[in-house]
Amino acid sequence: MSEPLAGGIEEYYARRASEYDRIYARPERQADLAELRAVLSRFALGRRLLEVACGTGYWTLVAAPVAESVVATDAVDEVLGVARGRGMPEERVRFVRADAFELQAVPGDFDAGFAGFWWSHVRRGVLPGFLEGLHRRLGPGAAMLFFDNRFVEGSSTPIARTDAAGDTCQERVLSDGSRYEVVKNFPSRSEVRQWLADAGGKAIRVEELDYYWCATYEVGETQNR
């Protein structure tokens, strides 16, 4: 077996762009995915939405018909190319190359934010900083939605190792045979709630489906540091 490539998460998703959406075809996950689509549609209705780490635009396509506007961001040009190719209305949907940790540079006026399947890739040590930056960009009173994977034995990719900081890692194999080690954390319901409360979130609601979790809350006041 070849060793995992040394490239980081951006390289991995750049090379995976053309095959990323295959993950949504798993038969056992269809009911949960339908529920997530319904959750996002209700959440995005009439809102000015900032989407973080939009990837190939699979979820942007769900929000676009109901949101007042969507600015969808990602740091990887290859996945943004796939997203732009989906043909969403340019007058209401814009795709912007942006680092999830540098959201202040993203133009727009937002009253809500969304990130699907991003939290799990954020290392535990930098998650508070990410949430703080996100909340500063959205501002107090904005609504926020996260959803991500739960670990399900037999369905999820096995955990390859847990590092010294408590982050869990998976080995991912692309269709060309290339291998990557990717951080993939699976927080519990109580952990998600605690992270959000510590970041100043209000009216936090965390729900678990069979294969996914989702959290909605209101951004609280941020402290100047």
Compute and round to an integer the Cα radius of gyration of the chain. 17
Lowest mean pLDDT across 19-23, 123-127, 148-152, 158-162: 19-23
Question: 162: burial class by Cβ within 10 Å (0-12, 13-18, 19+)?
Answer: exposed
Return the higher-pLDDT residue of 7 and 140.
Answer: 140
pLDDT at 12: 65
Mean pLDDT over 143-172 rounds to: 94
Contact 151, 124 (CB under 8 A): no
Instruction: Find tokens 């190792």 and name the residue.
Output: 161
Tokens (6 digits) for 161: 């190792």
pLDDT at 18: 66
Pairing of the two strands 168-173 and 179-183: antiparallel
Contact 60, 51 (CB under 8 A): yes
Going along the chain from its start, the domains and CATH numbers come out as: 9-218 (3.40.50.150)
Residue 34 has pLDDT above 80, yes or no: yes
Where would I find the beta strands (DSSP E) of 17-127? 48-51, 69-74, 93-97, 112-116
Mean pLDDT over 131-157 rounds to: 96
Q: How confident is the model at residue 65 (pLDDT cuts 50, 70, 90)?
A: very high
Residue 11 has pLDDT above 80, yes or no: no
pLDDT at 6: 40
pLDDT at 16: 67
Q: How many Å apart are CA 68 and CA 133, to the nearest integer?
A: 23
Contact 180, 7 (CB under 8 A): yes
Tokens (6 digits) for 196: 């959000």
Provide, rounded to the nearest whole percent, the portion of the chain with pLDDT above 90.
80
Distance set, CA 112 to CA 51, 146, 171, 219 (Å): 9, 11, 33, 9
Mean pLDDT over 158-173 rounds to: 92
Contact 174, 16 (CB under 8 A): yes
